[in-house]
Amino acid sequence: MGDDTTVEVLIVAGGGSGGMGYAGGGGAGGVVHHTSKVVTATTYTIVVGGGGTAVSAAGVDGNVGQDSSFFGMVAKGGGYAAGYNSRASGNGGSGGGGGGGNGTAGSSIQGAVSGATVYGNNGGTDSYGGSWWHSGGGGASAVGGISDNSSEAGGKSGNGGAGAYFANFTHAGTASDNTGTTGGYFAGGGAGGAENWEASNNAGGLGGVGGGGTNYRGSSNFGSGGNGADNTGGGGSGSTASNTVSSVSSGAGGSGIVMIRYKFQ
């Protein structure tokens, strides 16, 4: 790298974790993309945010993801998903999805960065209400999804919001999220957890493309949330459990990443 060099930078914060018990999915980490940042050859501090840790106590809220930063540019950590009982999910780079009992979604608080494009969306808030459906966390490119059915039986909780695709940066999470030979998706929202009483008739959501965690249900109708993929900033899924069950855990948020691309010689 010369004395002054123009670089392309992708900064992804850590994703938030899902909540426990009738809970939504965690929000993805915020994303900052600068295509022509001029830097000088020197030593810089780079911070890569960790994902929000999973929770396992009955009915509790998830945890926020941590910020990532480089050269004064900050991507905000993803918002947590609240546990059951009408609580608000957390704000973040993307907001956490609303849980059961008419819980409200978190909002995106990803701030503008001079010269860069930033990404982040609100979590989903389910218009049907009730305890059995739970919304997905926001993703880099889309708001978190909501339930597809107003009744307890026969529907599905919300998917995580889709992540954003970057042609010049290879996806560092699950290979299935890639659609081509180059580039990849980052910062997908976590899925909403399924309601646990109707194992054959309803389902949890799918993680947003770009590392969002997918909900899982065990044979006992209870199941842990899927983790967000590391190095993608994906949000973790909510658990499949009632607000009194502690035998499973929510999905953890995926860690973020900072990637710098420049022409060598």
Average pLDDT score over the chain? 85
The three-state DSSP-derived secondary structure of 72-93 is CEEECCCCCCCCCCCCECCCEC
Is residue 201 scored above 90 in pLDDT? no
* The pLDDT value given to residue 227: 94
Distance CA 8, CA 100 (A): 41
Query: In percent, how much of the chain has pLDDT > 90?
Result: 53
The mean pLDDT value for 93-109 works out to 90
* The pLDDT value given to residue 216: 63
Token pair in block for residue 145: 């999804």
The mean pLDDT value for 9-30 works out to 94
Q: How far is CA 138 from the centre of its chain?
A: 6
Lowest mean pLDDT among 19-28, 139-148, 188-197: 188-197
Is residue 1 scored above 70 in pLDDT? no
Is residue 115 scored above 70 in pLDDT? yes
Kindly report, residue by residue over 241-250, the tens digit of the pLDDT.
Answer: 665 666 788 9
Confidence grade of residue 220 (pLDDT, cut at 50, 70, 90): low
CA distances to 26, 114, 185, 197 from 208, in Å: 11, 28, 10, 25
Angle at 60 between CA 190 and CA 249, to 5 degrees: 55
State pTM to two decimals.
0.91
Q: Could you tell me which of 217, 222, 189, 205 has the C-alpha nearest to residue 58?
A: 222
Confidence grade of residue 180 (pLDDT, cut at 50, 70, 90): low
Lowest mean pLDDT among 121-125, 210-214, 228-232: 210-214
CB atoms within 10 A of CB 120: 32
* The pLDDT value given to residue 129: 60
Query: In percent, how much of the chain has pLDDT > 70?
Result: 79
CA distances to 57, 161, 247, 261 from 189, in Å: 22, 5, 24, 25
Lowest mean pLDDT among 132-141, 148-157, 238-247: 148-157
Phi, psi of 177 (to 5 degrees): -80, -10
The mean pLDDT value for 150-177 works out to 74
Is residue 58 scored above 90 in pLDDT? no
* The pLDDT value given to residue 143: 97
* The pLDDT value given to residue 150: 60
* The pLDDT value given to residue 106: 96
* The pLDDT value given to residue 242: 62
Contact residues for 201 (Cβ-Cβ < 8 A; gap 6+)? 152, 153, 154
Token pair in block for residue 19: 């909540």
* The pLDDT value given to residue 131: 60
* The pLDDT value given to residue 176: 47
Confidence grade of residue 184 (pLDDT, cut at 50, 70, 90): confident
